[in-house]
Structure 1
Amino acid sequence: MCDKSPGKPSPGKPGKPEKPDLPACPPSKDAIPDDGSNHPADWVRVRCMEGSLVLLFWVAPGVNPAQLARSLLDEMELTPIDIGITPKGPNALALVGLPVWLWVDDPSSSTWGPKTIAAGGVTMTAKAHKVVWDLGDGDKVSCGKGTEWHYGVGEEPSPTCGHTYTEQGRFTVEATSYWTADWSGYGQSGSFAFELTRSQRLDVGELQVIVTSGR
Protein backbone atom coordinates (compact mmCIF):
# COMPACT_ATOMS: atom_id res chain seq x y z
CA MET A 1 0.00 0.00 0.00
CA CYS A 2 1.05 3.60 -0.30
CA ASP A 3 1.55 6.20 2.42
CA LYS A 4 0.42 9.80 1.95
CA SER A 5 2.33 12.79 3.26
CA PRO A 6 0.32 15.98 2.75
CA GLY A 7 1.83 19.39 2.33
CA LYS A 8 4.13 20.95 -0.20
CA PRO A 9 7.91 20.79 0.22
CA SER A 10 9.47 23.73 2.02
CA PRO A 11 11.05 26.53 -0.06
CA GLY A 12 14.44 25.27 1.03
CA LYS A 13 14.03 21.91 -0.68
CA PRO A 14 17.29 20.96 -2.45
CA GLY A 15 17.53 20.25 -6.15
CA LYS A 16 16.81 16.87 -7.69
CA PRO A 17 18.64 14.09 -5.84
CA GLU A 18 21.16 11.97 -7.65
CA LYS A 19 23.90 9.45 -7.05
CA PRO A 20 26.64 10.33 -4.53
CA ASP A 21 29.49 12.47 -5.81
CA LEU A 22 32.53 10.72 -7.22
CA PRO A 23 35.48 10.46 -4.80
CA ALA A 24 38.50 12.71 -5.02
CA CYS A 25 41.26 11.41 -7.28
CA PRO A 26 43.85 9.25 -5.51
CA PRO A 27 47.40 10.44 -4.76
CA SER A 28 49.82 9.95 -7.63
CA LYS A 29 51.75 7.36 -5.63
CA ASP A 30 48.66 5.12 -5.61
CA ALA A 31 47.42 5.70 -9.16
CA ILE A 32 48.36 6.10 -12.81
CA PRO A 33 46.45 8.49 -15.09
CA ASP A 34 44.55 6.65 -17.84
CA ASP A 35 46.23 8.09 -20.92
CA GLY A 36 45.73 5.04 -23.10
CA SER A 37 49.13 3.53 -22.33
CA ASN A 38 49.82 0.24 -20.60
CA HIS A 39 49.11 -0.25 -16.90
CA PRO A 40 50.16 -2.89 -14.37
CA ALA A 41 48.33 -6.21 -14.61
CA ASP A 42 45.15 -6.53 -12.52
CA TRP A 43 44.92 -2.80 -11.80
CA VAL A 44 41.43 -1.31 -11.99
CA ARG A 45 40.26 1.83 -13.77
CA VAL A 46 38.26 4.24 -11.59
CA ARG A 47 36.48 7.54 -12.16
CA CYS A 48 37.23 10.39 -9.80
CA MET A 49 36.92 14.15 -9.38
CA GLU A 50 39.77 16.65 -9.46
CA GLY A 51 38.19 20.03 -8.90
CA SER A 52 35.34 20.18 -11.44
CA LEU A 53 36.93 17.62 -13.78
CA VAL A 54 36.02 13.93 -14.05
CA LEU A 55 39.22 11.95 -14.62
CA LEU A 56 40.13 8.30 -15.13
CA PHE A 57 42.92 6.62 -13.17
CA TRP A 58 44.29 3.12 -12.79
CA VAL A 59 44.62 1.99 -9.16
CA ALA A 60 45.99 -1.14 -7.57
CA PRO A 61 43.27 -3.54 -6.37
CA GLY A 62 42.51 -3.05 -2.70
CA VAL A 63 44.25 0.30 -2.34
CA ASN A 64 40.93 1.91 -1.41
CA PRO A 65 37.95 -0.47 -1.61
CA ALA A 66 35.41 2.27 -0.81
CA GLN A 67 36.73 4.46 -3.62
CA LEU A 68 36.65 1.56 -6.04
CA ALA A 69 33.09 0.74 -4.95
CA ARG A 70 31.95 4.31 -5.61
CA SER A 71 33.49 4.18 -9.08
CA LEU A 72 31.71 0.87 -9.77
CA LEU A 73 28.42 2.54 -8.85
CA ASP A 74 29.02 5.09 -11.58
CA GLU A 75 29.82 2.29 -14.05
CA MET A 76 26.43 0.68 -13.39
CA GLU A 77 24.66 3.48 -15.30
CA LEU A 78 21.50 3.26 -13.21
CA THR A 79 18.61 5.45 -14.35
CA PRO A 80 15.36 6.86 -12.91
CA ILE A 81 12.24 4.76 -13.32
CA ASP A 82 10.05 4.99 -16.39
CA ILE A 83 6.84 6.55 -15.13
CA GLY A 84 3.65 4.54 -15.42
CA ILE A 85 0.57 6.71 -14.95
CA THR A 86 -3.06 6.84 -15.98
CA PRO A 87 -4.51 8.00 -18.18
CA LYS A 88 -2.03 6.59 -20.69
CA GLY A 89 -0.79 8.51 -23.70
CA PRO A 90 1.20 11.75 -24.19
CA ASN A 91 -1.91 13.91 -24.63
CA ALA A 92 -4.22 12.08 -22.23
CA LEU A 93 -6.26 14.11 -19.76
CA ALA A 94 -6.84 13.01 -16.17
CA LEU A 95 -10.12 14.02 -14.56
CA VAL A 96 -10.89 15.56 -11.19
CA GLY A 97 -12.31 12.95 -8.83
CA LEU A 98 -11.18 9.90 -10.82
CA PRO A 99 -8.34 7.72 -9.51
CA VAL A 100 -4.90 8.05 -11.11
CA TRP A 101 -2.78 4.89 -11.02
CA LEU A 102 1.00 5.14 -10.47
CA TRP A 103 3.57 2.43 -11.12
CA VAL A 104 7.12 1.65 -12.26
CA ASP A 105 6.72 1.00 -15.97
CA ASP A 106 8.61 -2.01 -17.35
CA PRO A 107 11.10 -2.24 -14.44
CA SER A 108 14.59 -3.42 -15.36
CA SER A 109 17.84 -4.03 -13.54
CA SER A 110 18.88 -0.46 -14.44
CA THR A 111 15.67 1.24 -13.25
CA TRP A 112 14.76 -0.97 -10.26
CA GLY A 113 17.47 -3.57 -9.71
CA PRO A 114 18.90 -5.67 -8.43
CA LYS A 115 22.02 -5.04 -10.50
CA THR A 116 25.42 -6.46 -9.61
CA ILE A 117 28.90 -5.51 -10.74
CA ALA A 118 32.32 -6.81 -9.70
CA ALA A 119 35.85 -5.62 -10.45
CA GLY A 120 39.21 -5.49 -8.75
CA GLY A 121 38.09 -7.69 -5.87
CA VAL A 122 35.04 -5.56 -4.98
CA THR A 123 31.45 -6.70 -5.56
CA MET A 124 28.44 -4.39 -5.43
CA THR A 125 24.68 -4.94 -5.71
CA ALA A 126 22.26 -2.03 -6.08
CA LYS A 127 18.48 -2.12 -5.86
CA ALA A 128 15.60 0.31 -5.37
CA HIS A 129 13.20 -0.18 -2.47
CA LYS A 130 10.56 2.54 -2.85
CA VAL A 131 9.31 5.40 -5.01
CA VAL A 132 8.08 8.71 -3.61
CA TRP A 133 5.65 10.43 -5.96
CA ASP A 134 5.30 14.21 -5.74
CA LEU A 135 1.96 14.83 -7.46
CA GLY A 136 2.44 18.56 -7.92
CA ASP A 137 -0.70 19.52 -5.99
CA GLY A 138 0.88 19.39 -2.53
CA ASP A 139 0.42 15.65 -1.97
CA LYS A 140 3.03 12.89 -1.97
CA VAL A 141 2.64 9.11 -1.90
CA SER A 142 5.29 6.54 -1.04
CA CYS A 143 4.96 3.16 -2.76
CA GLY A 144 6.77 0.11 -4.02
CA LYS A 145 6.63 -0.72 -7.73
CA GLY A 146 2.88 -0.16 -7.82
CA THR A 147 0.36 -1.99 -10.00
CA GLU A 148 0.10 -1.41 -13.73
CA TRP A 149 -3.31 -0.23 -14.92
CA HIS A 150 -5.11 -2.37 -17.49
CA TYR A 151 -8.31 -2.09 -19.44
CA GLY A 152 -11.35 -3.41 -17.66
CA VAL A 153 -10.74 -1.99 -14.18
CA GLY A 154 -13.06 0.93 -14.83
CA GLU A 155 -12.87 3.69 -12.23
CA GLU A 156 -11.42 1.48 -9.49
CA PRO A 157 -8.51 2.97 -7.50
CA SER A 158 -5.10 1.30 -7.67
CA PRO A 159 -4.72 -1.43 -5.04
CA THR A 160 -1.13 -0.40 -4.30
CA CYS A 161 -0.28 3.13 -5.48
CA GLY A 162 -2.49 5.95 -6.69
CA HIS A 163 -3.85 9.45 -6.22
CA THR A 164 -7.03 11.43 -6.88
CA TYR A 165 -6.87 15.08 -7.90
CA THR A 166 -9.42 17.45 -6.42
CA GLU A 167 -8.83 20.39 -8.73
CA GLN A 168 -8.02 20.89 -12.38
CA GLY A 169 -4.75 22.25 -13.68
CA ARG A 170 -1.39 21.34 -15.17
CA PHE A 171 0.82 19.46 -12.71
CA THR A 172 4.38 18.19 -12.73
CA VAL A 173 4.59 14.66 -11.37
CA GLU A 174 8.00 13.70 -9.96
CA ALA A 175 8.91 10.08 -9.22
CA THR A 176 11.96 9.67 -6.98
CA SER A 177 13.30 6.14 -6.60
CA TYR A 178 15.30 5.39 -3.46
CA TRP A 179 18.25 3.03 -3.87
CA THR A 180 20.78 1.21 -1.72
CA ALA A 181 24.05 -0.17 -3.12
CA ASP A 182 25.86 -2.65 -0.86
CA TRP A 183 29.51 -3.49 -1.53
CA SER A 184 32.17 -5.76 -0.06
CA GLY A 185 35.80 -6.59 -0.75
CA TYR A 186 39.20 -6.98 0.89
CA GLY A 187 37.57 -7.65 4.24
CA GLN A 188 35.64 -4.40 4.15
CA SER A 189 32.03 -3.55 3.34
CA GLY A 190 29.72 -0.59 3.12
CA SER A 191 26.72 0.86 1.34
CA PHE A 192 25.62 3.92 -0.58
CA ALA A 193 22.12 5.35 -0.35
CA PHE A 194 21.02 7.55 -3.23
CA GLU A 195 17.98 8.73 -5.17
CA LEU A 196 17.10 9.14 -8.84
CA THR A 197 14.27 11.35 -10.12
CA ARG A 198 12.19 11.55 -13.29
CA SER A 199 9.33 13.98 -13.95
CA GLN A 200 6.35 14.18 -16.29
CA ARG A 201 3.60 16.69 -16.96
CA LEU A 202 0.00 15.74 -16.25
CA ASP A 203 -3.06 17.76 -17.28
CA VAL A 204 -6.13 17.38 -15.09
CA GLY A 205 -9.53 18.61 -16.25
CA GLU A 206 -13.14 18.45 -15.15
CA LEU A 207 -15.78 16.26 -16.71
CA GLN A 208 -18.29 18.48 -18.48
CA VAL A 209 -21.88 17.24 -18.52
CA ILE A 210 -24.09 18.80 -21.13
CA VAL A 211 -27.82 18.59 -20.49
CA THR A 212 -30.20 19.21 -23.36
CA SER A 213 -33.97 19.42 -23.26
CA GLY A 214 -36.31 18.49 -26.04
CA ARG A 215 -38.94 20.83 -27.38
Structure 2
Amino acid sequence: MARKELSAAALLLLGLLHEQPMHPYQVHQTLKQRGDDRLASITPGSVYHAMDRLAADGYVEVVGTDREGNRPQRTTYRLTDAGRDAFADRTALLLGHPRREHPCLPLALSQAHAIDRQSAVDALRARRAATADELASYTSRYDVVRHHGLPRRLLLDVEYDIHRIESELAWLDGLLADLDSGALDWDESVPQSFRDFAAARSQAAATDHVP
Protein backbone atom coordinates (compact mmCIF):
# COMPACT_ATOMS: atom_id res chain seq x y z
CA MET A 1 0.00 0.00 0.00
CA ALA A 2 1.35 3.43 -0.94
CA ARG A 3 2.40 5.65 1.92
CA LYS A 4 0.37 8.76 2.64
CA GLU A 5 2.09 12.05 1.85
CA LEU A 6 3.52 13.63 4.98
CA SER A 7 2.62 17.25 5.67
CA ALA A 8 5.31 19.76 6.59
CA ALA A 9 4.21 19.66 10.23
CA ALA A 10 4.28 15.86 10.26
CA LEU A 11 7.79 15.83 8.81
CA LEU A 12 9.00 18.18 11.54
CA LEU A 13 7.38 16.03 14.21
CA LEU A 14 8.97 12.83 12.93
CA GLY A 15 12.31 14.60 12.73
CA LEU A 16 12.13 15.50 16.42
CA LEU A 17 11.08 11.99 17.41
CA HIS A 18 14.33 10.74 15.88
CA GLU A 19 16.01 12.34 18.89
CA GLN A 20 13.83 10.88 21.67
CA PRO A 21 10.22 10.07 22.54
CA MET A 22 8.19 13.23 23.24
CA HIS A 23 4.69 14.35 24.08
CA PRO A 24 2.96 16.87 21.76
CA TYR A 25 3.41 19.83 24.10
CA GLN A 26 7.16 19.16 24.29
CA VAL A 27 7.26 18.86 20.49
CA HIS A 28 5.53 22.22 20.06
CA GLN A 29 7.78 23.99 22.56
CA THR A 30 10.94 22.53 21.01
CA LEU A 31 9.92 23.52 17.48
CA LYS A 32 9.16 27.07 18.66
CA GLN A 33 12.41 27.31 20.59
CA ARG A 34 14.45 26.20 17.57
CA GLY A 35 12.63 28.58 15.24
CA ASP A 36 11.29 25.73 13.12
CA ASP A 37 7.85 27.34 13.09
CA ARG A 38 9.17 29.39 10.14
CA LEU A 39 9.17 26.16 8.11
CA ALA A 40 5.51 25.24 8.63
CA SER A 41 2.39 26.40 10.43
CA ILE A 42 3.01 25.18 13.96
CA THR A 43 0.38 25.66 16.66
CA PRO A 44 -0.46 23.45 19.64
CA GLY A 45 -3.58 22.32 17.80
CA SER A 46 -1.74 21.46 14.60
CA VAL A 47 0.86 19.46 16.54
CA TYR A 48 -1.77 17.39 18.36
CA HIS A 49 -3.69 16.84 15.12
CA ALA A 50 -0.55 15.79 13.24
CA MET A 51 0.45 13.42 16.05
CA ASP A 52 -2.99 11.78 16.01
CA ARG A 53 -2.72 11.27 12.24
CA LEU A 54 0.78 9.84 12.53
CA ALA A 55 -0.40 7.43 15.20
CA ALA A 56 -3.36 6.36 13.07
CA ASP A 57 -1.01 5.72 10.14
CA GLY A 58 1.35 3.67 12.31
CA TYR A 59 4.24 6.13 12.06
CA VAL A 60 4.36 6.81 15.81
CA GLU A 61 3.19 4.81 18.82
CA VAL A 62 2.35 5.54 22.44
CA VAL A 63 5.01 4.64 25.00
CA GLY A 64 3.36 6.06 28.10
CA THR A 65 1.21 8.69 29.75
CA ASP A 66 1.86 10.88 32.76
CA ARG A 67 0.24 13.65 34.76
CA GLU A 68 2.04 16.31 36.81
CA GLY A 69 -0.01 18.08 39.46
CA ASN A 70 -3.09 19.71 37.98
CA ARG A 71 -1.77 19.60 34.42
CA PRO A 72 -3.66 17.62 31.76
CA GLN A 73 -2.53 14.08 31.09
CA ARG A 74 0.31 13.92 28.55
CA THR A 75 0.83 11.08 26.11
CA THR A 76 4.38 10.37 24.98
CA TYR A 77 5.04 9.01 21.49
CA ARG A 78 7.99 7.38 19.83
CA LEU A 79 8.94 6.83 16.22
CA THR A 80 8.16 3.46 14.64
CA ASP A 81 10.15 1.75 11.91
CA ALA A 82 7.38 2.61 9.45
CA GLY A 83 7.58 6.23 10.53
CA ARG A 84 11.35 6.25 10.12
CA ASP A 85 11.04 4.88 6.57
CA ALA A 86 8.26 7.31 5.62
CA PHE A 87 10.31 10.22 7.00
CA ALA A 88 13.41 9.19 5.02
CA ASP A 89 11.44 8.74 1.78
CA ARG A 90 9.63 12.07 2.10
CA THR A 91 12.77 14.02 2.99
CA ALA A 92 14.70 12.56 0.05
CA LEU A 93 11.79 13.33 -2.28
CA LEU A 94 11.60 16.97 -1.20
CA LEU A 95 15.38 17.34 -1.48
CA GLY A 96 15.57 15.87 -4.95
CA HIS A 97 12.43 17.04 -6.73
CA PRO A 98 11.70 20.77 -7.16
CA ARG A 99 8.07 21.66 -6.53
CA ARG A 100 6.19 24.68 -7.77
CA GLU A 101 5.51 26.97 -4.85
CA HIS A 102 3.44 30.14 -4.71
CA PRO A 103 5.11 32.80 -2.56
CA CYS A 104 3.40 36.17 -2.24
CA LEU A 105 6.13 38.44 -3.59
CA PRO A 106 6.03 37.22 -7.23
CA LEU A 107 2.23 37.54 -7.14
CA ALA A 108 2.45 41.12 -5.88
CA LEU A 109 5.16 41.99 -8.42
CA SER A 110 2.99 40.68 -11.25
CA GLN A 111 0.28 43.17 -10.26
CA ALA A 112 2.42 46.09 -9.09
CA HIS A 113 2.19 47.85 -12.46
CA ALA A 114 -1.47 48.54 -11.78
CA ILE A 115 -0.80 50.79 -8.75
CA ASP A 116 0.84 54.20 -8.82
CA ARG A 117 4.63 54.48 -8.78
CA GLN A 118 4.93 56.11 -5.36
CA SER A 119 2.78 53.48 -3.67
CA ALA A 120 4.92 50.76 -5.24
CA VAL A 121 8.17 52.48 -4.20
CA ASP A 122 6.96 52.99 -0.62
CA ALA A 123 5.92 49.34 -0.36
CA LEU A 124 9.21 48.11 -1.82
CA ARG A 125 11.21 50.28 0.59
CA ALA A 126 9.20 48.90 3.50
CA ARG A 127 9.87 45.37 2.30
CA ARG A 128 13.56 46.18 1.87
CA ALA A 129 13.80 47.36 5.48
CA ALA A 130 11.93 44.31 6.81
CA THR A 131 14.08 41.99 4.71
CA ALA A 132 17.29 43.56 6.03
CA ASP A 133 16.06 43.08 9.61
CA GLU A 134 15.18 39.45 8.84
CA LEU A 135 18.64 38.82 7.40
CA ALA A 136 20.33 40.36 10.44
CA SER A 137 18.25 38.17 12.77
CA TYR A 138 18.96 34.96 10.86
CA THR A 139 22.68 35.70 10.57
CA SER A 140 23.00 36.54 14.25
CA ARG A 141 21.27 33.37 15.41
CA TYR A 142 23.27 31.26 12.96
CA ASP A 143 26.57 32.72 14.16
CA VAL A 144 25.67 32.15 17.81
CA VAL A 145 24.79 28.47 17.49
CA ARG A 146 27.76 27.77 15.19
CA HIS A 147 30.06 29.48 17.73
CA HIS A 148 28.72 27.13 20.39
CA GLY A 149 29.46 24.07 18.29
CA LEU A 150 26.21 23.12 16.56
CA PRO A 151 27.22 21.09 13.47
CA ARG A 152 26.66 22.76 10.12
CA ARG A 153 24.61 19.81 8.81
CA LEU A 154 21.90 20.74 11.32
CA LEU A 155 21.73 24.28 9.95
CA LEU A 156 21.45 23.77 6.20
CA ASP A 157 17.89 25.11 6.17
CA VAL A 158 19.08 28.30 7.91
CA GLU A 159 21.97 28.64 5.44
CA TYR A 160 19.49 28.36 2.58
CA ASP A 161 17.26 31.02 4.12
CA ILE A 162 20.23 33.36 4.60
CA HIS A 163 21.31 33.01 0.97
CA ARG A 164 17.73 33.39 -0.25
CA ILE A 165 17.25 36.55 1.78
CA GLU A 166 20.60 37.96 0.65
CA SER A 167 19.60 37.41 -2.98
CA GLU A 168 16.19 39.03 -2.47
CA LEU A 169 17.80 41.99 -0.72
CA ALA A 170 20.29 42.52 -3.54
CA TRP A 171 17.50 42.35 -6.13
CA LEU A 172 15.37 44.83 -4.18
CA ASP A 173 18.31 47.23 -3.95
CA GLY A 174 18.80 47.05 -7.73
CA LEU A 175 15.10 47.53 -8.42
CA LEU A 176 14.83 50.55 -6.12
CA ALA A 177 17.97 52.06 -7.67
CA ASP A 178 16.44 51.69 -11.15
CA LEU A 179 13.22 53.33 -9.96
CA ASP A 180 15.14 56.21 -8.39
CA SER A 181 17.32 56.80 -11.46
CA GLY A 182 14.49 56.45 -13.97
CA ALA A 183 16.07 53.41 -15.61
CA LEU A 184 12.74 51.72 -14.89
CA ASP A 185 10.01 53.92 -16.38
CA TRP A 186 6.82 53.24 -14.42
CA ASP A 187 4.64 55.00 -16.98
CA GLU A 188 6.09 53.37 -20.11
CA SER A 189 3.29 52.24 -22.39
CA VAL A 190 3.12 48.85 -24.09
CA PRO A 191 4.20 49.40 -27.74
CA GLN A 192 1.92 48.44 -30.60
CA SER A 193 4.54 46.00 -31.91
CA PHE A 194 4.16 43.91 -28.74
CA ARG A 195 0.37 44.14 -28.89
CA ASP A 196 0.49 42.77 -32.44
CA PHE A 197 2.87 40.01 -31.37
CA ALA A 198 0.65 39.00 -28.42
CA ALA A 199 -2.47 39.03 -30.60
CA ALA A 200 -0.80 36.80 -33.19
CA ARG A 201 0.27 34.30 -30.53
CA SER A 202 -3.21 34.26 -29.03
CA GLN A 203 -4.77 33.62 -32.43
CA ALA A 204 -2.28 30.83 -33.17
CA ALA A 205 -3.01 29.18 -29.81
CA ALA A 206 -6.76 29.35 -30.47
CA THR A 207 -6.30 27.81 -33.91
CA ASP A 208 -4.25 24.95 -32.47
CA HIS A 209 -7.18 23.97 -30.24
CA VAL A 210 -9.84 24.02 -32.92
CA PRO A 211 -11.11 20.41 -33.34
Bucket of the pairwise TM-score, normalised by the shorter protein: under 0.3
Structure-2-length-normalised TM-score = 0.26
Structure-1-length-normalised TM-score = 0.26
Instruction: Determine which structure has more spread, i.e. the larger CA radius of gyration.
Output: 2
Structure with the larger strand share: 1
